A and B are shown apart, each in its own frame.
Chain A
């Protein structure tokens, strides 16, 4: 069993490397059609991060939400549910953190205010996850579709709020909420927007790995996800385990939103947090739901996301080009096949 497991991880890593190499090749062809020299573009991508504190910090900025929402997709998938709603849960968390921060905690010191904001963010994420979860448990509604629809609903709610009720009265009529008070912001590393929340994200991923691989609870959860009926015969409370996992996951996505708001965004906009949830879902999807490999994959995706803007300045490629590279990598890794479960 142990050997099989290391083999599987080894295979995953090999697949990941081949995939990355193949997609760089495909993207090179695309670059040639755009009259760009692939080698100089790839050098430009690497150059983004050499001796550039700000750009390296941008990796951590993107990686925190991507990794945490990745976990929010991974935990339910282990218990046989599908959470595509990380996007909406993250945005709801960001919104809640801002609203609570601006309207309740503006006078509080940071050590008190920030935790309260994070609790609000977690609660908002959970609320957002609870609606599809109730649908799933009571009516057996397809949670993939309901969580996807929830994403759009949350985005519309945010749009409504920033154009109306929470619009900053001193904000020159821009559709943005008020900024968080100075002491409620998570301080960045010097010279960049990166901050300590990245450590929390990595620790969460490691804890998730430990839970699934070293604890009885994790074993139970995998049994529930693997074979619900066997789990029932074994006397596990299948629905309870599923519900708690889903709520914890959506709470985590909310927390990611809270972190993002307090450290990077500061104020709510229409586009706050958009794209991170989907990216997180894919970051874990391409590594076959392995928490530790997710750290690597989300690092890679974040680095590509971070270099988009610099790439546009240095090579003249539109920033969507880095999105194309990301999507090619994702598809190639899918094409190489998922790790067989019985191996």
Chain B
């Protein structure tokens, strides 16, 4: 029983880690007033580029950097085509996801069924022996350890620095950013590109540390879920732990049921993360927290009459 619970916690952390990256990324973007559903595409780019780089060079830091560049490309396109060219945020994001899917399917097809030596686990002496949580928290790969401090880091940057204040003001009253001498447009570009980069790191973690395989479209809607979970977090970085591991737990539940031999079909269990996200969104909506950045409220509410 103890080992089952330990496995459950371990799987929760493992499934939640890619989400944390994408979640924090999109949260920063959304605080700047821009929903990037294209984090899904960034994540997929991260998965594929990280895996490919790792396969050909075996150099893990390089794999992360290449992933980040791929994610930044998607993030840049998302920011540029929306801010400078006025494309619809959501339609654009879906097009970018399609772009990422097609490119990774094309170039990744040679990577299917190749194996890599991905991130190895680093056990922290002593701490990893704690029953139940030791193995889950203190015997992980480096990207997971970074994900543990990422929300705190994001909180610090967003709330304790001038840059963070400026980014937040982009999504509320952008005059503040102007008053501090920041360029609002640059800040928005930056925030959306960072969203893409972080999501790509999440993707890299997914393919090079979590699953250690590459399959086409392996991100499987995790980016969309991360975007949705931002709402569950009420746009507060520290709540990312709760939201991401809630998703992680929903996935881990499936593995737990399998281990316990319960006769629940896998596809029903696989549905749980999506359903739980949906329910969580509904609960957040019922509480009616007035946390949404002002700029986001304007999206989808065009003020002038169309043609």
Q: Which residues of A are interface residues toward B (Cβ below 8 A)?
A: 4-5, 8, 78, 80-82, 84, 135, 139-142, 144-146, 148-153, 156-157, 159-160, 163-164, 222-223, 225-228, 230, 278-279, 281-282, 285-286, 289, 318, 320-321, 323-324, 326-328, 330-331, 334-338, 340-342
Contact = CB atoms under 8 A, between A and B. Distances in A.
A334 B228 contact: no
Given A149-B224, A226-B302, 5 more contacts: A144-B300, A281-B94, A285-B88, A327-B98, A331-B81
Contacts of B90: 82, 84, 144
Nearest to A340: B86
A171 B228 CA distance: 39
Contacts of A140: 285
A148 B99 contact: no
Interface in B221-252: 221, 224-225, 227-228, 231
Question: What 6 A-B pairs come out closest when comparing CB atoms?
Answer: A285-B91, A226-B305, A323-B102, A139-B285, A160-B267, A327-B99
13 contacts: A5-B307, A81-B300, A84-B94, A145-B224, A148-B224, A149-B278, A160-B267, A285-B94, A331-B81, A334-B81, A338-B86, A338-B88, A341-B302
A78 B85 CA distance: 21
Contact of A331 (B86, B99, B109): B99
Contact of B306 (A81, A285, A320, A341): A341
Contact of B286 (A82, A139, A330, A338): A139
Contact of A335 (B85, B102, B105, B304): B85
A227 B302 CA distance: 7
Contact of B98 (A223, A318, A326): A326
Contact of B94 (A4, A163, A226, A278): A278
Interface of B: 35, 37, 77, 81, 85-88, 90-92, 94-99, 101-103, 105-106, 109, 220-221, 224-225, 227-228, 231, 265, 267-268, 270-271, 274-275, 277-278, 281-282, 285-286, 300-307
Nearest to B228: A145
B98 A146 contact: no
A232 B265 CA distance: 48
Contacts of A145: 224, 227-228, 231, 281
B98 A278 contact: yes
A273 B86 CA distance: 31
B86 A337 contact: yes
Contacts of A324: 99, 102-103, 106
Given A145-B228, A321-B106, A334-B81, A282 B95 contact: yes
Contacts of A135: 281-282, 285
A140 B277 CA distance: 16
A222 B302 CA distance: 11
A139 B282 contact: yes
